[in-house]
Copies of this chain bind each other. A is one copy, B any other.
Amino acid sequence: MSAANLRARVRAEMTEEIKTVAKRHLATDGANLSLRAVARDLGMASSAVYRYFASRDELLTALIIDAYDAVGEAAERASAEQSTPLEKWLAAGHAARDWALASPHEWALIYGSPVPGYQAPEDTIVPATRVMLLLGATLTEAYTSGVLVYREPITGRFIEELAPIAASILPDLPARLVADTIAAFFQICGAISAELFGQLNKSVEEDRRGFFDYQLRAAAAHAGLTG
């Protein structure tokens, strides 16, 4: 083992350990993560943590990236186990919801209100689009295979704005379906956040999964995916 790599490896392990403890704190104590408390749990001085993360915001950013990746991977994995586009769509949505229910504070970190003065850095936007791209890919598969009933193109300034970006990210999908992908993603996030943040106060308690499924299918149907 080259001695030169030892420092770097120890540093990487320490960084990971800080994130792990921070996630545990997030899960138990909620969103107001205390750097000092994390340091205390690790048996080190709070100032030492600053050797790894320049600020509390930087630690949060790292956690946000991990969270995006975690939901993304959960959705992709669940989706991959299915065969038809609608099944993939539903599996992805339910996987995202399951992940959110299991890690509510991490969900709040990424899809709740941004932390006080926090400004999302560039590093976060790529992992952030992972779930949305999965939905888009599912629609693409349905569209190209003819399973999806495509109504007609729509017009509007937002469609013109969207078209160039759409062509580079989801090249085989008409602009309307790209708009539908984004809208569906927002709808799904909205449904999950609403459930998680207590918006459906007692109106549905037992079969929240069923209600979410209804909304998931509605979003799919609006894009023409009825399976």
A residues within 8 Å of B by Cβ? Answer: 29-32, 108-109, 111-117, 120, 125, 128, 154, 156-158, 161-162, 165, 179, 182-183, 185-191, 193-194, 197-208, 210-211, 214-215, 218, 221-222
Contact = CB atoms under 8 A, between A and B. Distances in A.
15 contacts: A31-B115, A109-B113, A114-B198, A128-B199, A157-B210, A161-B203, A161-B205, A161-B207, A162-B204, A165-B203, A179-B214, A183-B214, A187-B187, A187-B190, A218-B222
A166 B11 CA distance: 57
Contacts of A206: 157-158, 161
Given A165-B203, A186-B191, A208 B117 contact: no
Contacts of A30: 116-117
Q: Top 3 closest A-B pairs, CB basis?
A: A190-B190, A112-B113, A108-B113
Contact of A189 (B156, B158, B190, B204): B190
Given A158-B204, A158-B211, A187-B215, 16 more contacts: A29-B117, A111-B197, A128-B199, A154-B214, A157-B206, A158-B214, A161-B205, A162-B204, A179-B214, A183-B191, A183-B211, A183-B214, A186-B194, A186-B199, A187-B191, A221-B222
A66 to B, nearest CB: 17
Contacts of A154: 214
Contacts of A187: 186-187, 190-191, 215
A189 B183 contact: no
Given A191-B186, A215-B186, A207 B157 contact: yes
A210 B158 contact: yes
Contacts of A222: 218, 221-222
Contacts of A191: 183, 186-187, 190
A168 B204 CA distance: 15
A120 B200 CA distance: 12
Contact of A215 (B183, B199, B204): B183
A120 B198 CA distance: 9
Contacts of A197: 111, 113-114
